[in-house]
Amino acid sequence: MEHVTKSPEETKNLGHFLINGLSFEKRKGAIVIALEGELGAGKTTFVQGLARLLGIEAKIKSPTFNLIKKYHIKLPKRLQKTKLKILNSRFLYHLDCYRLKNHKDLLVLGIKDILKNKENVLLIEWPERVKKILPPKHIRIKFDHINKNTRKIIIK
């Protein structure tokens, strides 16, 4: 699936496409979403949109100082009968590997347990730095900066 968005708001709304277009039922552990793209490409903006969709009220910023942040999913009533409910996800983790040199730094954060738990959604910025921890079945989203307000976003 390829999308061209012309504003941050349009990128935030792509969460809907992701949830509706993909099947998560057969997964063994957490839903893992790898977000690729340069600085400013829109990865964090996308996370903000998905978090809003999942009823997370906290403001999501790039976890610059903390490598990883955890949020509680609180599905809005109107979404509880939709596919989102099937996901049964309870926690969203936002991981930013920009400052990371080695995937081993993630082990102390308990990444193995986070990945094992089916109740988790794990969004990873700069996933190419932690390839070794990515499960075989993960979703890849690639963000391309086209111009000031335009981004090309490919969901694989």
CA distance 125 to 32: 11
Site string for Mg ion, 101-140 (x = CB under 5 A): ------------------------x---------------
Q: Which residues pair with 79 in a beta bridge?
A: none
- Residue 93 in contact with residue 58, Cβ under 8 Å? no
Exactly one of 44, 45, 89, 120 binds Mg ion (CB under 5 A); that residue is 44
DSSP string, 136-148: SS-EEEEEEEEET
Identify whether the C-beta of residue 53 lies closer than 8 Å to the C-beta of residue 16: yes
Check if the beta carbon of residue 35 is closer than 8 Å to that of residue 143: yes
DSSP one-letter code for 77:
G
> Closest separation between CB of residue 56 and ligand ADP, Å?
16
Residue closer to ligand ADP, measured from CB, 75 or 93: 93
Beta carbon nearer to Mg ion, 49 or 87: 49
Q: Are strands 68-72 and 91-96 parallel, antiparallel or unpaired?
A: antiparallel
Cβ proximity to ligand ADP, 93 vs 143, nearer residue: 143
Q: Which of 136, 153, 138 is nearest to 41 (CA)?
A: 153
For Mg ion, the closer CB: 69 or 118: 69
| CB-based closest residue to ligand ADP | 42
When asked if residue 49 is in the footprint of ligand ADP (CB under 6 A), the reply is no
Q: Is 62 in the site for Mg ion (CB under 5 A)?
A: yes
Give the x/- contact pattern for ligand ADP in 122-151, rule: CB under 6 A.
Answer: ---x-----------------x-----xxx
